[in-house]
């Protein structure tokens, strides 16, 4: 039997999960979510992000470095400033979906919203009586 050879460009499922985990870790801060949300509307310089988000400039810059290191954002020089933009619009959709999901009301009775799982098989009507 011949071994299965995977093309180099096709990562296996474990590598895909690893990459997805790294992406989600990069997004796992409220300020980074705010930055991605702002950048979804188009490129922004640091001072524009500071004004829009209301966080101190050093903090915004620190989070931009994390996002850039993870490949979520990229920077392009614009005169004396750097305009940051999303490297991929998929990230904007992931963040928008997460924010939208967080706003959904929770079911009143969580137990009632999910079907009960029992260890014993259900008894058919008329059996055992």
CA distances from 51 to 12, 17, 31, 37, 47 (A): 42, 35, 13, 14, 6
- Give the total number of structural domains in the chain: 1
- CATH number of the CATH domain containing 72: 1.10.10.10
Tokens 């093309």 appear where? 7
Cα–Cα–Cα angle for 72, 78, 84, rounded to 5 degrees: 15
**Which range marks the domain in which residue 66 is found?**
47-100
Q: Given this model, what pLDDT does residue 12 score? A: 83
Q: What is the pTM of this model?
A: 0.71
What residues of the chain score a pLDDT lower than 50?
Answer: 129
Q: Is the dihedral of CA 96, 99, 66, 8 positive or negative?
A: negative
Q: Given this model, what pLDDT does residue 11 score? A: 63
């Amino acid at each position: 039997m011949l071994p299965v050879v995977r093309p180099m460009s096709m990562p296996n499922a474990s590598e895909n999960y690893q990459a997805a985990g790294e992406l989600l870790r990069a997004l796992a801060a409220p300020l980074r979510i705010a930055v991605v949300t702002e950048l979804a509307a188009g490129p922004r310089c640091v001072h524009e992000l500071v004004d829009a988000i209301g966080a101190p400039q050093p903090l915004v810059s620190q989070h931009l470095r994390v996002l850039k290191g993870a490949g979520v954002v990229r920077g392009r020089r614009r005169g004396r400033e750097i305009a940051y933009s999303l490297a991929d619009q998929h990230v904007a959709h992931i963040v928008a979906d997460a924010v939208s999901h967080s706003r959904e009301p929770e079911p009143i009775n969580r137990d009632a919203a999910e079907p009960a799982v029992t260890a014993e098989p259900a008894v058919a009507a008329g059996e055992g009586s």
